[in-house]
Structure formats: structure tokens, C-alpha cells
Structure 1
Amino acid sequence: MFRMVTDTFYAAPQITVSDVADAADAGFSMIINNRPEDESADQTPGSEIAAAAAAAGLEYVAIPVTHAGFAEWQVTAMAEALDKGDGKVLAYCRSGTRSTFLWALARASRGAHPATLAEKASDAGYDLSPVTAMMDMLRGRAS
């Protein structure tokens, strides 16, 4: 369920409270919720994931992303969360795709090469082509 994108970043579809305990047992230190509240009736509310994360000693960060796309504040918030993450980070949304896109945009904003990011994402089963131009732009700003 948790797809390894890098040694320290994993993406997942919607997680449950019991998945938080699994994440803690697997050595994660932070959970990032990229899903907006009430996106679908079957999702576990972020407040329940946050409470389970706190109980398990994990940091929890909410950076909701809708299907409308990515804003600069979201990229910045993700980059800052990843920068301060101490250990493995698990990010989730409905399928893991938005989380992986946001990870790639955040890393590109810190100077990572889009081709390297695309390769890592592809190895985890995610296609970054919809955000390639945005990664190029963000990397250009970081240089």
C-alpha cells in the first residue's frame, strides 16, 4: 500500500487510522495529508488521521490539493515539510498521485532535476508528465 518513491518518501492512497499504526511500525516519522476534507464520503477524516498520528508519535501535516491543480503555497508547504522531515515521510491522497506530483514539484523547487524525479516516480508507478513543465519552471527558479 505504501509505495516507495525514494528511501525517505512514500506515497499512498487514502489511509485509515490502522494504517497510521502500520506507518509508525515501519519507521515513518511524518504523515502528510494531501487530500481535501469531504472529497468523498468514504475517506477517513484528516482529524482522525492527525489524532492517530499524534498518538503514535508521528508528525502530521495537512496540505490539501484539489483536482484544480497546485498553488505556490502548496509547493512551498510541501518543500518545507520535506525539509524538516526527520526520517521516512508518508504522503497520501485519493490514489497517491497528487502526493507524488506535489513531492516532485517541491523537490524541483529545491533544485532537483525533473528527469531524476520522473524516474523515481515511474519506478513507484506514477507518471509525472502532467507536471513536467511546472517542475522545469520551479527548478529554473531554484538555480
Structure 2
Amino acid sequence: MQLRQLTDILSVSAQIDEADVDVLAGQGFRSVINNRPDGEVPGQPDSTVLAAAAARHGMAYMHLPVVTGQWHQDVVDAFGHSLHTLPTPILAFCRSGTRSCTLWALSAFAAGEDREAVIACAATAGYDLSALAIGSATGH
């Protein structure tokens, strides 16, 4: 599991499993956001299994699935809201981490953060969001 820190409170990663939840708890993470739809690929851990693993450690768990390229404003808003309401630090994950990073960026844009600074931060973490430089699929 490779964690990529975006902010003081948020890191993103590729798919995690139950053992990774144990590691995250040991590293002090207090919340997990799953941005992957259940059943996206065979063998992927079900969100209920990961939620139970998080609960065993007293961690908050949020399943906020996103299909790649479908950036619905309600999901972007829910992600942004979670950054202010879930216990921190937070790990958000999807298949590669890109969807989670993109949700963070879109929620930051919606909150009025500087687009170029957000894209640069994502690049520092290893994510190329340059396609969002001009605009986003949600119209922000």
C-alpha cells in the first residue's frame, strides 16, 4: 500500500484490503473513504468487509463510489463535506488513487481554492490532473 499525501489531513491510495486497514489504524488514520463501486472487478474487497475492518479499529468509514469520469456534483460535495466532518487523518482510495485525488481536487475547486495550486499539489503526489486546468466535468 503506497500512501500519497495531498494535505495535512488527507492521503490517497490504490485499493486497500482488510490487512491494510489494520496498518492504517496503526499509523493513526481515523477515517477511510472508499471511492470504488462494489464489484468493479472480480476479487475486489466488498465495502461491507472494509467497513467492518474499520469499525474494529474505531475508524469512521464512508463508501462514496464513483465511476471513472462521472463526477456528479452531489458526490463532489459529499467528498468535500467529509473532509470537514470525518475524524482526521483520512485515507481515500479507489483502484489507483486517481479518482480519489480528482474528487479532492474538484471539491477544492468548488470551495474556491486556486486551481493551479491544487493541480500542482496533485502532481507532487504523483497524479496528473492537468486536464482539469481549464475546467472540470462538474462545471467549476
- Shorter-chain TM-score range: over 0.9
Partner of 1:134: 136
Residue 55 of structure 2 contacts residue 61 of structure 2 at CA under 8 Å; is this kept in 1? Answer: yes
Alignment pair present for 1:20 and 2:30: no
What is the distance in 2 between the residues matched to 1:71 and 1:136? 7
Partner of 2:81: 80
User: SS in structure 1 opposite 2:101?
Assistant: helix
Residue 79 of structure 1 contacts residue 106 of structure 1 at CA under 8 Å; is this kept in 2? Answer: yes
Aligned pairs for 1:55-66 within 5 A: 55-66=56-67
Alignment pair present for 1:36 and 2:34: no
What is the distance in 2 between the residues matched to 1:90 and 1:50? 13
Unaligned stretches of 5+ residues in structure 2: none
What is the distance in 1 between the residues matched to 2:71 and 2:138? 15
What is the distance in 1 between the residues matched to 2:132 and 2:22? 32
Residue 92 of structure 1 contacts residue 99 of structure 1 at CA under 8 Å; is this kept in 2? Answer: yes
Q: Tell me which amino acid in the other structure corresponds to 2:97.
A: G
Aligned CA distance change for structure 1 residues 114 and 136 (closer, same or farther; 3 Å): farther
Aligned CA distance change for structure 1 residues 135 and 85 (closer, same or farther; 3 Å): farther
The CA RMSD measured in Å over matched residues stands at 1.6
Q: Tell me which amino acid in the other structure corresponds to 2:61.
A: Y
Give the number of the structure whose residues are more often helix, by fraction. 1
Query: 1:135: Cα distance to partner?
Result: 8.2
| CA distances 1:76-99 after superposition (whole Å, capped 9, x unpaired) | 110111111332110000000000
Residue 54 of structure 1 contacts residue 60 of structure 1 at CA under 8 Å; is this kept in 2? Answer: yes
User: SS in structure 1 opposite 2:79?
Assistant: helix
Query: 1:68: Cα distance to partner?
Result: 3.8
Indicate the percent of aligned positions where both proteins have the same amino acid: 36
Residue 94 of structure 2 contacts residue 100 of structure 2 at CA under 8 Å; is this kept in 1? Answer: yes
Where in structure 1 do 4 or more consecutive aligned residues deviate above 3 Å?
A: none
What is the distance in 2 between the residues matched to 1:46 and 1:66? 15
Q: TM-score scaled to structure 1, two decimals?
A: 0.90
State the number of aligned residues.
138
Q: Tell me which amino acid in the other structure corresponds to 1:100.
A: C
Unaligned stretches of 5+ residues in structure 1: 139-143
Partner of 2:54: 53
